[in-house]
Amino acid sequence: MQQKSICFIGGGNMAQAIVFGLLKTGYPANLITVCDRNAPKRALFAEQGVLVSTDNVKAAAASDVVVLAVKPQGAAEVCSALSAVDFSQKLVISIMAAISVEKITALLHHANNVVRVMPNTPALVSQGMSGLFAQNSVKENFKKFADDLLQAVGKTCWVKDEQDMHLVTAASGSSPAYFFLFMESMQQALLKMGLTAEQARLLVQQSALGAAQMVVENPTVELATLRQNVTSKGGTTAAALNVFNEKQLEQIVEQAMQACVERSKEMEKLMG
């Protein structure tokens, strides 16, 4: 990975995940600056040797790469101030949800190289899944740097159409919550049946981890096949799956993901 000076505007969870992921790979701490108004957050980064600041404009002007990591509601205010910076030769990476590349470019005036990213919270444990989009005009070396940056905390998936970022939101941005809900439901069922909280938690979390790892290590095997391999005709697994099918789990999942997509589109319109 190339070594460029990087400025993070915002020091929240995602910024922390990416910064600490970079540090784990050996990226020089003195090439990273984090801007945040919150003193405890700045202290968290400073403890790791990362440069910190409260001056977004000064830090951005001095950096090769600027990562916009503020909440989308604050995008207009933050970018308005940053518009004083010449971004024509800088890479801008946005991890702000529901803010289009066109909107970011308009807010920053001189931004020619913008990469939009939808990360997810497993990046906090270096198991993230990030969707990325960039217009064709963005330089290839900038796209590669953005990809390398997100690879430091997980996997990446590029989309050609920006509208597909709504689908990325449903598939990975929001989906950790789906899995947590399913695991939580399993745990609660086991508690009602008599297991302790510790027993239920261990059984559920390790089974989820193991199932995910089987998917990862068998990339040519269809998910349906992996499911079928666990399901003996007339057995216990089949009995459980029959209930899921009767309750139309597949349709529920589809409807939930579609709702996520529609809300993502609504938010993008609200952000202008």
**pLDDT, tens digit, for every residue of 135-194?**
999 999 999 999 999 999 999 999 999 999 999 999 999 999 999 999 999 999 999 999
Residue 109: predicted pLDDT: 84
Q: Tell me which residue range forms the domain holding 40.
A: 6-165
Is residue 29 one of the residues assigned to a domain? Answer: yes
Residue 21: predicted pLDDT: 93
- Residues 140, 190: one domain? no
Is residue 133 one of the residues assigned to a domain? Answer: yes
pLDDT of 110 above 80: no
pLDDT of 30 above 90: yes
**Maximum distance among all alpha carbons in the chain?**
68
- Residues 49, 69: one domain? yes
Is residue 1 one of the residues assigned to a domain? Answer: no
Phi, psi of 53 (to 5 degrees): -160, 160
Average pLDDT for 248-258:
98
Q: Please name the residue ranges forming H helices in 9-119.
A: 13-24, 39-46, 56-61, 75-82, 101-108
CATH number at residue 253: 1.10.3730.10
Structure tokens at 73: 């509601």
- Residues 126, 183: one domain? no
- Residues 188, 86: one domain? no
pLDDT tens, position by position, 43-83? 999 999 999 999 999 999 999 999 999 999 999 999 999 99
Residue 83: predicted pLDDT: 94
